[in-house]
Structure 1
Amino acid sequence: MIKQMKDSGINWIGEIPSDWKTTVVKKIFRVVPGGTPTTSNESYWENGDIQWATPKDFNRLDSDVLHETERKITQIGLENSSAQIIPENSIILTTRAPVGNVVKNYVEMATNQGCKSLVDKIGLTDSNYYYYVMKITKDTLESLSTGTTFLELSGESLKNFEIMCPPVREQEKIANFLDSKVSQIDSILADTKLSIAEFKKYKQSLITETITKGLNHNAPLRNSGYQWIGEIPKDWNAMKLKRLSTKIIDGTHHTPTYVDKGIPFLRVTDITKSNNSFTPIDFTKTAQITLEEHEELIKRCKPEKGDLLVSKNGTIGVPKVVDWDDNFSIFVSLCLIKVNSLIDVNYLAYYFKSSLIYMEIAIGGKTGTITNLHLEKIKEFVIPLSTVEEQKEIVDFLNEKCAHIDSLIEQKQQLLVELETYKKSFIYEYVTGKKEVL
């Protein structure tokens, strides 16, 4: 028997079964905002045992269930802030920076003001069903958000957000079905992400092996004198970067005045957001400064074709060879290296793609995530060094190998996009009743 459908009257939903109703979030859920205790008061935080979710917690999840948060607050911190306890099996959404990420909480917790929670207030809904509903509303919720610095979804907009309301037994039936099917899709997604991670790990290990051992696997080796480098070919040297360059400097330390059309001004994100270093920089999307300000900046730091840019703040150590002639300036988050005749700039770029700088930093006593490279540290980096001719041979070898690996990674990343699109479409068809669970 074909189910009769009707127009829901809600653009993002479309048609729904004729026996379904529509409603707004506030009719079936209590919308609970979050809050942050004063961070300067240690009694609100020290030895806290109340889970306290922020949008950052969503980013580190391997699943859609939040069991434990990065930070916790105390009972007195809870009582002296606008944060509230959210019962287990509620739905938590990020409502700013970004809008629309969704998790389920299987334990009681509070949230900060970047989240809002949907707590069942009538006892006649299946929260798991509505979790799936909210999973597919990100784009719609973003369109309802406002803000200049960042988008934020207001409590009123969320309360009045229109949703469908099928009979509760049908909610349960759909949710149970999706639990099974979506977990299968998620398993494929997880395997694909793991495969990408393994390809990236293999690529870095290949680069590290090649720039420390060379292409001749039968070459006699000697101790480099540096623990993190290990053995190198007998006729190689290990030299500090300051001896292989004529200048190592960072970009301007002040924020220039941006204009709509002018000279490109590169920041760290301009070289770190591409999938690989072979991807050209899109200068139409970079910041722009006036010619006058550019000419003033290049008196101190003048990037030229054949130089190397390296990210030194945020995501550290990402290299970009300047292989273009157009003028540009750089911000303090980028380091400019002008190499001398002892080293090929592309070989140096591969050094930064290896694991050597991280090993050197670790052996130097630094632990945890490093988010800033000082120029003095960069100058002291030790580079395994062959002749320039052999460096060029290594570059040609790694260009070919890495291009192949990057191609495989891009295929996997495209598969991720397709799987996520399919997953969203699959959920949409069932939660809106366009496809029936038999």
Structure 2
Amino acid sequence: MIAEYNRLGKHMPPNQFDLSWENFRSIVVPMPSIVDQWRIANFLDAETSRLDQLSRLRLTQLPLLTERGQREKLSQIEGYEPTWLELRRAGARVTTGPFGTALSAAEYVHGAVPVINPTHIKDSRINPSLSETVPPEVAIRLRRHMLRAGDMVVGRKGDIGRSALVNSDQDGWICGSDSIAIHFDQSRLSPAYIAHVLSIDSVREQLLARSVTATMPSLSEGNLLSLRIPYLDMQLQRKLVGKFDTDGEHVTSLSVSMSRQADVLTERRQALITAAVTGQLDVTTARSGVRV
């Protein structure tokens, strides 16, 4: 069908058509009898409904996987009877990114030292923008706001608590004005452990409860330092990080598998429609029901 569109539509790309009404009227389409049209329509209504239901089921299972993982994570932490401490009492320090006259929009260049704001944090990873960077001399001027390997950068506006660890390749990047950097006393706190703790919604909700919500949720250094975390000794923190990492890989694998299944169901739905309306599938003999 797309080939027919392209033949009549000036050979434009498949997602761009410049088709006149006259050309549209001349497109050749399969035209079975009215009885067969109804038979095909009824068959497709039933089969695509089943496929859509399966696809929705796969997609609704994805957040349930995440929710279950969070519950198990918190349960394992609480099994060691942690002491709930404010971050400040666990030896953490924080630094807010530069704002106001400290860094102007005119100082941004392309492809230099990245400035990290919440929009650059996705799935607990930092994904910098090449267009939001500053020259090395500006980065040196802003060294107070530099991120160091082992720090955590946390969103302080909008999506409160969106966070990611800073790895060795990101050492020296700049904490943006809408972010706060957490610096850890690594003799007392494992950054990886805190990263897992902050991935738990019930912990992140503390941040939202403490935020200022005049127009947009906003988090201050004091509010972040008052966040209560389940504190354990370093040996237990490291042990749990290993367990959480392994469990996380399993959940990620399941999530990827479910997403692929949903994609396959979508492709199968389209293939089924194409086969039925073009006569490749005889709906009078096709078995009812869809198996995945």
Deviations 1:34-90 (A, max 9, x none): xxxxxxxxxxxxxxxxxxxxxxxxxxxxxxxxxxxxxxxxxxxxxxxxxxxxxxxxx
Instruction: Point out which structure has higher relative CO (alpha carbons under 8 A, 6+ apart).
Output: 2
Contact 1:311 1:319 in 2 (8 A): yes
Would the alpha carbon gap of residues 282 and 355 (structure 1) be closer, same or farther in structure 2, given more than 3 Å must change?
closer
> 2:133 — aligned with what?
288
Q: Which residue of the other structure, out of 9, 19, 36, is the alignment partner of 2:4? A: 9
Q: Secondary structure at the match of 1:317?
A: coil
Q: CA deviation at 1:345?
A: 1.0
> 1:179 — aligned with what?
45
> 2:87 — aligned with what?
241
Would the alpha carbon gap of residues 381 and 140 (structure 1) be closer, same or farther in structure 2, given more than 3 Å must change?
farther
> 2:119 — aligned with what?
269
Would the alpha carbon gap of residues 212 and 421 (structure 1) be closer, same or farther in structure 2, given more than 3 Å must change?
same
Q: What pairs with 1:421-432 in structure 2 (closer than 5 Å)?
A: 421-430=267-276
Contact 1:265 1:286 in 2 (8 A): no
Amino acid paired to 2:168: W
Gaps of 5+ in 2: 284-292
Say how many residue pairs are matched: 267
> 1:193 — aligned with what?
59
Q: For the residues of structure 1 that align with 2:120 and 2:244, how far apart are their CA atoms? A: 23
Gaps of 5+ in 1: 1-5, 15-21, 24-138, 145-156, 215-232
Q: For the residues of structure 1 that align with 2:132 and 2:154, how far apart are their CA atoms? A: 18
- For the pair 1:307 / 2:177, whether they are aligned, the reply is no
- The alignment's C-alpha RMSD in Å is 3.8
Contact 1:307 1:336 in 2 (8 A): yes
Q: What pairs with 1:389-404 in structure 2 (closer than 5 Å)?
A: 389-404=235-250
Amino acid paired to 2:5: I
Would the alpha carbon gap of residues 428 and 204 (structure 1) be closer, same or farther in structure 2, given more than 3 Å must change?
same
Contact 1:251 1:301 in 2 (8 A): yes
Q: Which residue of the other structure, out of 163, 181, 187, is the alignment partner of 1:336? A: 181
Amino acid paired to 1:263: V
Q: TM-score, normalised by structure 2?
A: 0.73
Contact 1:271 1:318 in 2 (8 A): yes
Would the alpha carbon gap of residues 259 and 416 (structure 1) be closer, same or farther in structure 2, given more than 3 Å must change?
farther
Which structure carries more helix by proportion? 2
Would the alpha carbon gap of residues 265 and 359 (structure 1) be closer, same or farther in structure 2, given more than 3 Å must change?
closer
Deviations 1:93-121 (A, max 9, x none): xxxxxxxxxxxxxxxxxxxxxxxxxxxxx
Amino acid paired to 2:181: L
Q: Secondary structure at the match of 1:259?
A: coil
Contact 2:115 2:174 in 1 (8 A): yes
Q: For the residues of structure 1 that align with 2:249 and 2:42, how far apart are their CA atoms? A: 43
Amino acid paired to 1:213: G
Q: CA deviation at 1:366?
A: 9.8
Would the alpha carbon gap of residues 140 and 430 (structure 1) be closer, same or farther in structure 2, given more than 3 Å must change?
farther
Q: TM-score, normalised by structure 1?
A: 0.51
Q: CA deviation at 1:196?
A: 1.6
Deviations 1:163-212 (A, max 9, x none): 86766947665544332221111111122122222211111111222233
> 1:259 — aligned with what?
109
Percent sequence identity over aligned pairs: 19
Q: For the residues of structure 2 that align with 1:361 and 1:262, how far apart are their CA atoms? A: 32
Q: CA deviation at 1:263?
A: 1.9
Q: CA deviation at 1:307?
A: 0.4
> 1:210 — aligned with what?
76
Would the alpha carbon gap of residues 332 and 183 (structure 1) be closer, same or farther in structure 2, given more than 3 Å must change?
farther
Would the alpha carbon gap of residues 291 and 362 (structure 1) be closer, same or farther in structure 2, given more than 3 Å must change?
closer
